[in-house]
Amino acid sequence: MLKLWLNLLSRNGGFLKLFFKFFTGGVVRPDPSSATFTSVVGCLDGRVELDKSIRQGDRKYNASLAMMASKLSYENAEFVHTIIRDHWNMENLGFYNFWNDFQGQPSTQAIMFQDTKNNPNLIVVGFRGTDPFDPIALGIDVDLSWIELEGVGMAHSGFMKALGLQKDKGWPKEIEKRSDPQQQYAYYEIRSKLREILQKNERAKFIVTGHSLGGALAILFVTILAMHEEAWLLDKLEGVYTFGQPRVGNKQFGYYMKEKLKENDVRYLRYVYCNDIVPRVPYDDDSIFFEHFSPCLYYNMYYNGKVLGEEPNKNYFSPLWVIPKYLNAVLELIRSFIIPYIGGSDYKENWLMKMYRVLGLIIPGLAEHSLQDYVNITRLGSLPMDLQNSLRHRNSKVGLPKKSQ
């Protein structure tokens, strides 16, 4: 209902014009399946264009593209297709709504596209994050049960189910494809599509990305590739980019993943903005045992980044952080009025985003999870020099043959 009202306001020029149109006629009714209908995420941050100052080969390019793909994944199929084709001049490969065997219905959305129509250099897989108004997605998030993966560790059961865990079979390496196109599983279908495209384009690479729940699915997708010893695909993986990602496994799971990422030379960049509550859940304590297994690229409210082993205030509720969290929320609200004068008109925040900042004064860390700030850190954010050099080196090699050993 909220999405419908927000789009009704947008399509009719705002509240006052909508008010007059109710009496004079001519109210434009939004179509939820159209290319102009936006999600709540899109209403909060209406940016759809890629940053033209960041070009392929730039140290920020892949992260910026990954973030925009994560943002775009919240939209409907027509919206996604239009933006990829008409705004980004790229090739749309698919909009998916994948089956969840345990819920008996689709629960997992993802998009896939490539940077050129022919002979692509880069394929992007973006998993959609949690829609706060979707009870199915919320059910996935709050499912704190574990699944034990032999030789791997314990992983978040809800996330695994969303990715394609089989009800009675677990994670077989291969499954028989279902005849119903509406009942395909995320991991198996995406893996099949990647195999098909990459076999035709030897120099192409792919990235996996997502925000919030989408970030969890992105790194778990790589986990299953490692479990299935998909060395060829992992060699084609340029990197995993997650934004505001929750914890996905226990300490043993973390050891396994660190070893596999190193073994396959997979770059994993976990972005965390300031007091964002989601990377700090599920809690890392003696009763739940969820842990992050990689350092984070942590950005403060000034978008200054640094590499940390763990985000500050890792479980969110530390009494020592109460005053700093509220103070930061106040400063972010003030910043929302002045940032266009610092970064330019692309960074102007609309009235809805400002209202969301006000809500952040009540629940600090909530507004920080918005995609507004994550888009900003991939564009305006600073990085440590050693990481800048590493990214520049890695990005310049996308699409190029590896040097002979």
**Given this model, what pLDDT does residue 200 score?**
93
**Given this model, what pLDDT does residue 14 score?**
82
**Given this model, what pLDDT does residue 355 score?**
96
Is the preceding omega at residue 282 within 30 degrees of 0, hence cis? yes
Better pLDDT: 392 or 357: 357
137 pLDDT band, cuts 50/70/90, is low
Better pLDDT: 188 or 5: 188
Residues in the chain: 405
Q: What percent of the chain has pLDDT over 70?
A: 90
399 pLDDT band, cuts 50/70/90, is very low
- Sign of the torsion angle spanned by Cα atoms 237, 239, 245, 248: positive
Better pLDDT: 10 or 241: 241
Pick the CATH number of 31-318+381-395 from 3.50.7.10, 3.30.70.890, 3.40.50.1820, 1.10.3720.10: 3.40.50.1820
Q: Is 274 helix (H, G, I), strand (E, B) or coil?
A: coil
Mention every residue, 6+ apart, whose C-beta is less than 8 A from residue 181: none
The chain-wide mean pLDDT, for the chain, equals 90
Unique residue bearing structure tokens 């993986």: 237
Better pLDDT: 315 or 401: 315
Calpha distance 405→26 (Å, rounded): 68
Q: Is 244 left (phi over 0), alpha (psi -120 to 50) or beta?
A: left
Domains of the chain, by residue range, sit at 31-318+381-395
| Mean pLDDT, residues 219-243 taken together | 98
Calpha distance 57→67 (Å, rounded): 16
| Mean pLDDT, residues 90-115 taken together | 96
**Given this model, what pLDDT does residue 80 score?**
98
Beta bridge partners of 98: 108
Calpha distance 86→251 (Å, rounded): 44
- Buried/exposed 244-277: b ≥16 CB within 10 Å, e otherwise: bbbbbbbebbbebbeebbeebebebbbbbbbbbb
- Buried/exposed 180-194: b ≥16 CB within 10 Å, e otherwise: eeeebbbbbbbbebb
Dihedral, 67, 71, 72, 73 alpha carbons, nearest 10: 100
131 pLDDT band, cuts 50/70/90, is confident
**Given this model, what pLDDT does residue 12 score?**
84
- Whether pLDDT at 299 is above 90: yes
Better pLDDT: 35 or 2: 35
- Between the CA of residue 341 and those of 119, 345, 346, 348, 357, what are the distances in Å? 41, 7, 10, 9, 19
**Given this model, what pLDDT does residue 132 score?**
65
Residues 22-46: tens digit of each pLDDT: 888 888 899 999 999 999 999 999 9
Residues 325-343: tens digit of each pLDDT: 999 999 999 999 999 999 9
| Mean pLDDT, residues 142-164 taken together | 90
- Between the CA of residue 369 and those of 24, 146, 241, 274, 289, what are the distances in Å? 40, 25, 16, 9, 23
| Mean pLDDT, residues 43-54 taken together | 96
- Whether pLDDT at 405 is above 50: no
Q: Is 303 left (phi over 0), alpha (psi -120 to 50) or beta?
A: left
**Given this model, what pLDDT does residue 389 score?**
59
Least confident of 135-139, 241-245, 270-274, 286-290: 135-139
Mention every residue, 6+ apart, whose C-beta is less than 8 A from residue 219: 208, 240, 242, 245, 248, 257, 268
Between helices 213-227 and 186-200, what is the axis angle to 10°?
70
- Whether pLDDT at 92 is above 70: yes
Read off the DSSP letter of residue 247.
P
How many C-alpha atoms does 224 have within 13 Å on its Cβ side?
A: 25
Calpha distance 283→103 (Å, rounded): 25
**Given this model, what pLDDT does residue 1 score?**
78
**Given this model, what pLDDT does residue 376 score?**
98
Calpha distance 253→151 (Å, rounded): 9
- Whether pLDDT at 384 is above 80: no
**Given this model, what pLDDT does residue 341 score?**
95
Roughly how many angstroms between the first and final C-alpha of the chain, as a whole number?
A: 58
Q: Would you say 384 and 107 are in contact if contact means Cβ atoms under 8 Å apart?
A: no
The residues assigned a catalytic role are: 212, 276, 369
Calpha distance 246→214 (Å, rounded): 9
Read off the DSSP letter of residue 309.
S
